[in-house]
Every structure is written in C-alpha cells, then in structure tokens.
Structure 1
Amino acid sequence: MSAEELFFSALSSVIGVEIDRSSPRLVYADSYRNTNMEPSIIELLSELRTALGTTNDFSNCHLPVDGLIRNHKKLGTRVVEFDEFQHLTSQRKIAITIAKAHCSLSFHERYLSYCEDPEVIAEVNRVTTRSGFHRSVAGFRYEGGRMSQRAYFDTLKDYVHLSGAGQGFNPIIRFAVRDFDVMTTAAFINLDASFIQERINYMLKNLAD
C-alpha cells in the first residue's frame, strides 16, 4: 500500500465515509479555462505565473485531485490533498507566499513552516534529485520547470472552491507527510494505522476555514 492509499484509508475510517478517489475533473491545467474564478484568485494566479517564469503554453488537460469528500455532515463537500515532500519545494514556498497575501487558507502558515524547515529542505532536495523533477514541461519550459509546474498546479487546486467547478464546496484540506512527525515517506508507511487516524482526527477538530 502506498503512502497516499494508507492516508486515505485512515481518513475514510475517521470521517465514516468513502472518499471519492476517481480523480474528479475540477481544475484545468490552463487556468484561463477555469470559469467563474473570483477576481482576487485571477490576480494571484497572474502574479504567480510571473514569479515562476511561465512560458504560458499550458495543456488543455484536467488536473486530478487526490480525493473529494462529498456531502459530509460536518465537512461538507471539499477536496482533500495528501502531500509528500516533493510538494514542499522552494517553488511551493513562493506560491504560498503570494497566495497568502491575496486569499489566506488554513494550511498556509503550516506549509510555510515546513518549506523553511532545514530538515524538510534536506529531504526535499533528496527526493527531487531525480532528473524527472528538473525537466522542462508544458507551461514552464526551462530546467527545473516540473517543480514550478507542480507548485502552480497545487495552487490551482487550492482555490477550486472559488471557481465555477467548485460551487458549493468548502475550502480544500491539505495534509502533509510531515504532519505525522516523520521525515520520510517510507517512515510514514511504517506508522501504525491508529496513530495516523488519531492525528487526522486531531487536525480535523482544529480545522479553521
């Protein structure tokens, strides 16, 4: 079982419903195709594209979300993402810093603290040494473009609740491997399921929208 599968199994047990893991089509890679986004989000995405040096040649594909909670009695309908260390890059720090100034979300401060943690930075550097993380990709056609693309796409998902496709959604919930007091994905996989469930339950109780 992968870390993501383990996490979503635990989350489902905690909230008492199955999570939609069918990759619902909610977000386009080309942000201009995401309809009815609030003006503040359009502005922050424009600023982010400039900061990350986009080449603006995005594909027309959808971005899969990790999971979707539907019509939960307390949590409502909302996207849930589970982030391994490759989502905590310096590019993601840039993205969150810009996004926070326009429309702050509950996980922003927590993720910024991870992006600035020397131990997390070391693990990010270790897992992103593979060439695939540094390749040129659509929208970011330069060395290291894949990590900029990931940071941009994560930001698009962060604000799906403020787009036409996410009408009626509550804000995204993001969990990171680091939330579970481990420094590698392998260590997360070896955690006891009851501990993962307890930590998820604690974080959900302290969720601030």
Structure 2
Amino acid sequence: MGKNETKFYKCFQNIIGEEYLKSKSVDKKIIKDDIFLSSNYRDYNFNDGIVRIIEEILKNFKSDLNIPSRSLTSYIDGMIVKHPQLGTRIIEFDEEQHFNPYRKEALTILKEKHIDLWFIESYLELCKDIKHFDIMLKKQRIKYKADDILSLNEFYDILVNTPNNSNYIKERPGFDFVGGRIAQRAYYDLLRDLAYLSPKNSHLKQIIRFSKYEIEREFKNKFEKLSDEEIGNFIEKRLEIIM
C-alpha cells in the first residue's frame, strides 16, 4: 500500500462518508461477506459468453488456464458498501504498473466483444501513452527504453531477452512464463472488472476506476503534490458521471 493510494482513499472517504467506504488505506478491512472474488474465473458461474471471453484473453496471454482457486478479497483496494446512490461497488486506484500490454490486450478484447465498461476507452488511451509506458517499465524494473508501444508478443520477447531476475516479472501459477506476474496482474484486474456480472455478486454494481495519471493530467501536477481539495474535486466529478 503506497502513499498515493492511502492519500486517494482518505480523500474518497471524505467525499462519500466513512460509513460507506472499506479500504485497508483507512483501516477498514474488506471481507468475504462483502464480495465474492476468486482467482479462478470458473468459480464465478459466469455465463458461457463471459467464460469464452476470459479464456480467449488468457490464451492470448499464453496462460495454460490451470489457475488455482483462492480468495482475492484482500487484493481489492477499496469498496463502496451500501451507499444510498452508488450502491456497493469496487473502487480501484490505478497507478502505472496496471497499464501494461497485457492489460491493453484484455481491454481491447472486452471492447471488441461489446462489454460495456465505461472506462475502457480512456484506459486504452493510457495503455497507448508512451510516457506512461516507459514509467510502467521502470516500475517493473525492466531495463528497456521503448520508442513506441509494444505489442503483446514484442513485450514478451523483450522480457525473455532482457537480463532481469526481478520478482516483478517472474512466473505465477497459471502464468508459467517470464512476465507471468505482469500477466497475472492484468488478469486480476479483469476479474475485478467483471465481478459484478457473477450471480454470486448480485448485490454488486459496476466497478469505478480512477487512474493516478488522469488526476495528474487534470491538474497538471504530480499526484503527491495535489491538495486533498483538488483530489476530492476530481472524485466528485467522476461520481457525478457514474450516478
């Protein structure tokens, strides 16, 4: 949990009221009774169409689909719970590491399949931003200077051929290849995106995502230099659109 994330959720709490927000950033733990979130997509009882989309994405990632089941509740940054207007939703604050070629691939397929997530267009733009891309590479400890956005296969080749023993790009169960941890992060983001479509989450509304970069661009300043009032204003505008 970073300082930026903590700052964001404290501002978020000030906007909606502390009784409606759960987040480790404000010392209110999200529990399994709040949401069903498993690491294995098969556990959600998604309809066949959603399952096919997830499996297409995973195969493009080079996953073997053998993903173990475990709760991902502790991976959620924050949740609105039983708010009178906003209901119950996942609230995510996304920093640079989430805008990688695996995430771009997943969002592209979701768009092609007409999955109606309000943030897809803006997040695809962020995935294609070369400045953002270079920052993402540095965050993953990948020593490579990109002249352009890499395709998924190009990105994989760079990871294989760039000397790097970092834990940031090591294999993960179901993602048994160099860069597996990055692919797994994009997959977990995908599960959070689609969790509201599971019959096990009938109480859940669509996720609301905030990008650190969008907030910085709005105020032309680094996030850590923004005032609580500026961040709060951005949050309020975003929530007005959602409502």
- Which of the numbers 23, 30, 43 marks the counterpart of 1:23? 30
Secondary structure of the equivalent of 2:213? helix
TM-score (norm 2): 0.79
Alignment RMSD: 1.8
Residue by residue over 1:143-178, the C-alpha shift from the partner in whole angstroms, topping out at 9 and shown as x without a partner, is 011111111111011011111331121100011111
CA distance in 2, matches of 1:39, 1:105: 19
> Aligned to 2:191, which of 149, 152, 156?
156
> Does residue 74 of the first structure (1) align with residue 75 of the second (2)?
no
CA distance in 1, matches of 2:105, 2:235: 27
Would you say the 8 A contact 2:59–2:65 is kept in 1?
no
Show the counterpart of 1:49.
Answer: 58
User: Could you tell me whether the CA contact under 8 Å between 1:52 and 1:148 is conserved in 2?
Assistant: yes
Rounded Cα–Cα distance in structure 2 between residues aligned with 1:56 and 1:69: 31
- Greater gyration radius: 2
The change in CA–CA distance for 1:8 and 1:119 in structure 2 (over 3 A counts) is same
Q: Which residue of 1 aligns with 2:239?
A: 204
**Aligned counterparts, 1:1-209, within 5 A:** 2-18=3-19, 19-21=21-23, 22-25=29-32, 26-35=36-45, 37-63=46-72, 64-102=75-113, 103-129=115-141, 131-181=166-216, 187-207=222-242
Amino acid corresponding to residue 108 of structure 2 in structure 1 = T
Cα deviation, residue 24, structure 1: 3.2
Runs (4 or more) in structure 1 with deviation over 6 Å come to none
Q: How many residues align?
A: 204
Name the % identity. Answer: 29
- Give the TM-score, by structure 1 length: 0.91
Aligned residues of 1:27 and 1:165 also touching (Cα < 8 A): no
Question: What is the letter of the counterpart of residue 112 of structure 1?
Answer: L
For each residue in 1:62-117, what CA deviation from the matched residue of structure 2 results, as whole angstroms up to 9, or x when unmatched?
A: 11211111111111111111111100001100011111222120111110000001
Unaligned runs of 5+ in 2: 24-28, 143-165
What letter corresponds to residue 135 of structure 1 in structure 2?
K
